[in-house]
Amino acid sequence: MKKHIIIAAMLMAAAGIQAGAQNKGGIDASMLQQISKGYEGTAADKAIRNALNTTAINTLSEAPATERLTATDFTHRVKTKGITDQKSSGRCWLFSGLNVLRARAIEKHDLGAFTFSQNYVFFYDQLEKANLFLQGIIDTKDLPFDDRKVDWLFQNPIGDGGQFTGVSNLVTKYGLVPSEIMPETFCSNSTSQMSQNIAKLLRQDGLKLRYANDELTAAASKLKGKKLDNAKAEAAAKLEAMKVDMLKEVYHVLALCLGVPPTEFVWNKKNYTPKSFYEEFVGEDLENNYIMVMNDPTREYGKVYEIDYDRHVYDGQNWLYVNLPIERIKEMAIASIKDNTAMYFSCDVGKFLNRKTGMADINNFDYESLLGVKFTMNKEERIKTHASGSSHAMTLIAVDLDENGQPKKWMVENSWGADSGYKGNIVMTDEWFNEYMFRLVLEKKYVPQDILKMLEQKPIMLPAWDPMFMAEE
């Protein structure tokens, strides 16, 4: 009896597949039969399947360490002191940027294991991003709600990720303080719950601004001439006042979660403001002294690109970069390291990284042999298909050159704590660098004149939702 029931159920299931796949392009019973031959169930298949039942793919595919990465010596290395830890937050961009400035300050002022307060800059980062969103809602108030830009704004009201222009704009505007003056808090180390609540608050504020604009626009539509002009001015002032009240609430939440940022403080028996501390211990023109370069083979090299709304401060700078072949980027990176100058660096950190050893090598894992498939995409194809993109920022501090001056491996100072990777660092083969490095920020003195001249071009504007340009975390 049971046997007949099982057979009937199988026939009904097959009929269901056929009925549900009548539209061309679906999987019917015949196609499923062909597809199922992809797994042959050989002894090797069964052994791998048994292993994968209890063991991670990376563990089973891990290859022996290569000799060139077991060596830790580098021909050139920037002097740094102490590894930072961003904990459970997406602030890698901030840690990397401040670590670049920290290395210079330590060398110049003999500060020892010194750190700038990431929490202080992060407070203003979140406040400025809230204003960026609210002002963006005001700027797009007359666009339909389903407009792509309006939708993107509501989808991305605030976050803790970012990039180097956030560091340059925020530090220039608000200055810096030592970490002990405004130390980390639970919410700065673990940002998700704070960010979720602020995002929820901003989204409802964004709706309020649009609703208010609709009412004001409807009222003004009945007016003409000077009365209409006055009504528009009054409407703009009302929306601005609403925004200020909304930002007061954001400030309140930030102060509860992160603390109140100091306006004056005493450090090493000397009085400072955050701006005077920045001037003494950094003193650089961060907004004009640096250039961001990118290796994006999906777009034309030698061109300058700008990302709309990819900034932290409304009255600051959009992210702007020069797209270059990887060889040109390496030349400048080597020059900077040789001159003891660290750099903001970003990459697709999770690809072929052995997290236990901190070694990044395209030969770390043999996925093809384990899974019995081929992965053939190059860097350009991975970017086009969303398989790869810049995901994490670190600080580039070392290179190992061969006898011909060509790089063999590189090292970055990470912000995942001293116990992660190789003593808090990640070591990368040059081949891995080619495939998964994306952005580098350099002082202009290390940049050849032909590249600096490219900055004279009118930037090609890319939309904020371009998938290649998600914030680094």
Catalytic residues: 92, 392, 414
Helix (H) or strand (E) holding 427: strand 425-429
Bridge partners of residue 378, in order along the sequence:
none
Please, what is the Cα angle at 343 between 339 and 344, to 5 degrees? 175
What 3-state DSSP class applies to 250?
helix
What is the spatial distance between Cα 213 and Cα 463, in angstroms, rounded to a whole number?
25
Q: What per-residue string of b and e applies to 394-411 under the rule 16 or more CB within 10 Å gives b?
A: bbbbbbbbeeeeebbbbb
> Rg for the chain (alpha carbons), in Å?
27
Residue 159: which of 196, 104, 190 has the closest Cα? 196
| Residue pair 327/333 in contact by the 8 Å Cβ criterion | no
Sign of the CA dihedral running 59, 62, 65, 69: negative
CA distances for 92 relative to 14, 304, 390, angstroms: 52, 25, 12
Residue 384: which of 311, 286, 467, 294 has the closest Cα? 467
What 3-state DSSP class applies to 281?
helix
CA distances for 21 relative to 10, 17, 141, angstroms: 17, 6, 45
Q: 167: which 2 tokens?
A: 């560091």
What is the spatial distance between Cα 322 and Cα 308, in angstroms, rounded to a whole number?
15
Bridge partners of residue 395, in order along the sequence:
344, 413
